[in-house]
Structure 1
């Protein structure tokens, strides 16, 4: 029986079995909120070729409803403008994802990690489809949830879905990086988009002792999920959490447009690290901290770094006699900085992101390894 109620209950049971829903109230939210109202049509990735292409899946199509109640992220918009229900025909399209419905287990895990309690007010950055806001409203009450969406088309769709599902949180269309200066203070803030640094308005809109849960990312698209405690107006400290969490980066924080990459000659030398390490989850994170204005491409021994702001380049390759070489050019020696950062991380025992912390003030935002006085890197503010 593939009715929505049955599929929704089965998904809630599966997430509970995985240990994400220890709180019965969140399990009830997962079993009650109709995800199909929030996703509607969505895109399926089509394998093959050099670029990912997407096929629209619409209500009534084979697999539409079971797909919605599979624990996965569903792409709902491409290129900041194309929605699945607007695509004519069934031919795949090749734009980049710009909005999505995050896999339910991650949404619920983040609500749990946020440590939101009865009576607290929560500010959500990135309404998206509205599914996360609906879960929060079900658990904490409509009056306790405010959600901000940057894209007015996405926001309108979420508002309609929330109303259809019977929820009425406070919704704002605007720049979530500015927060909600007229609606605070808040006890909790959760971001369903990634940022390059913590927006300072958030630190003034969450009460001292309040929590901020946010994914830090960058132009190389490495990610780490951090839980911060606000220590005072404009200041916070926190730790990164276990697991592997990634979100689309907030559009104002995304890299600027760039021309097609042309690899140019430069100075060549042997590398001091295996380039493949920057292709691992935490290795790529460390490399991004070291060169936050760079975009990373390639895999394995063949890595390419391109500094978006200066045009500096670094590219690695296997050396004929063993080991690897790097060619660098431009005012920023990208690979030198990456080697230094990777060496510091390796000396600390190569911890996953849960071994990292973050300190934030109006003057500086710093990510560090181990302890606050350990090796660290400033975020681009």
Structure 2
């Protein structure tokens, strides 16, 4: 057995033992697809660097293959243009813009999609092509279409898929618009996050079909939703357990903002501990309440800046306890967040599996508990 086959078998064994790979069909796919074909080189974060710096790890270097078969996300592009082969050996700064998602998450999502033989599947975000290869192995080339926004990333994925022996239909374009060739699909899976469910998807997935997608926002809080299409342009679903995040689709990412200047505003004392919006679900609730805001800070020191209006909210620990909050601008961001967090806490502060989503011609709404419960509209 080759070194790569041994490492792949060991990874599959670990995923079986921890319960990730419960379906033998997907287990066979994981055993068959060589991840190293899709991750020729990658960036590794430099421990302790601030802002985070990345060093390139290239094919054949010591530790390269072992890194490929660790269950972790591997960064393959920075700032939308820079690949590991574009830099020297020194660490570089940048924002991750493409990656090979950790295998356990990819395989868990494929299983959560609940697919069956013969299903036609649309994948949004080809990326390196590793997830696409798993899907092609499971459904067959003819039943899988994958769309990638970045033509450079798409070209590399096409080469890797061919090398690995797979030939699904590949499209370069904006996956948020759906398949430009039309057609009706049984399942849709997205390996990027979105601020709302694109309407085109709701017309390309048949009634009764499923959509698995991560909802995100400009504060980069995330929740994985599984929706069932109920009719053209409508769907309903629930958020799933766990902690799932993806890079936001580039057309949905926040626009550039000028340098941040924190300015004085109206002051009062917060009714909630600001640290709660630094938690996974607390941050999600805050984002639902202030969907065009960016969040920064930690603990009792939190900053919200609305990208659309420039409104600001800032909390600080009080010298005698409590948390003074300062707000300015047309939106009272902390008022919105505070009310949402209180409603969530009143409902028992559930994790995201306690939330659901309804999509119709009237809009898209995320709610707690049941459709007639407390809810928030997504920005469309």
- The interval holding the TM-score normalised by the smaller chain is over 0.9
Deviations 1:135-182 (A, max 9, x none): 011111111110000000000000000000000000000000001142
Are 1:21 and 2:21 matched, yes or no? yes
Aligned to 2:3: 3
- Shift, 1:184, TM fit: 1.7
Aligned to 1:155: 154
- d(CA) in 2 for partners of 1:146, 1:17: 31
Deviations 1:188-212 (A, max 9, x none): 0000000000000000000000000
Aligned to 1:62: 62
Task: Tell which deviates more after alignment, 13-22 or 109-118.
Answer: 13-22
Are 1:321 and 2:324 matched, yes or no? no
Aligned to 1:216: 215
Aligned to 1:31: 31
Aligned to 2:71: 71
Aligned to 2:336: 337
**Map 1:98-109 → 2, pairs under 5 A:** 98-109=97-108
Aligned to 1:118: 117
Are 1:230 and 2:193 matched, yes or no? no
Are 1:169 and 2:168 matched, yes or no? yes
Unpaired segments ≥5 residues, structure 2? none
8 A contact 1:236–1:360 mirrored in 2: yes
3-state secondary structure, aligned to 1:243: coil
Normalised to the residue count of structure 2, the TM-score between the two structures is: 0.99
- d(CA) in 2 for partners of 1:259, 1:139: 46
- d(CA) in 1 for partners of 2:51, 2:74: 18
3-state secondary structure, aligned to 2:190: strand
- Shift, 1:304, TM fit: 0.3
- Shift, 1:49, TM fit: 3.5
- d(CA) in 2 for partners of 1:114, 1:24: 15
Task: Tell which deviates more after alignment, 358-367 or 239-248.
Answer: 358-367
3-state secondary structure, aligned to 2:362: coil
Where in structure 1 do 4 or more consecutive aligned residues deviate above 6 Å? none
Deviations 1:311-350 (A, max 9, x none): 0000100011111110110000000000000000000000
Aligned to 1:195: 194
8 A contact 1:2–1:66 mirrored in 2: no
- d(CA) in 2 for partners of 1:2, 1:269: 65
8 A contact 1:181–1:205 mirrored in 2: no
Unpaired segments ≥5 residues, structure 1? none
**Map 1:221-300 → 2, pairs under 5 A:** 221-300=220-299
RMSD: 0.9
Deviations 1:50-69 (A, max 9, x none): 21110000012111000000
3-state secondary structure, aligned to 2:93: coil
3-state secondary structure, aligned to 1:318: coil
- d(CA) in 1 for partners of 2:49, 2:19: 37
3-state secondary structure, aligned to 1:339: helix
Aligned to 1:349: 348
Deviations 1:192-234 (A, max 9, x none): 0000000000000000000000000000000000000000000
**Map 1:306-317 → 2, pairs under 5 A:** 306-317=305-316
- Shift, 1:20, TM fit: 1.6
- Shift, 1:108, TM fit: 0.3
- d(CA) in 1 for partners of 2:223, 2:185: 23
- Shift, 1:98, TM fit: 0.1
- d(CA) in 2 for partners of 1:73, 1:49: 18
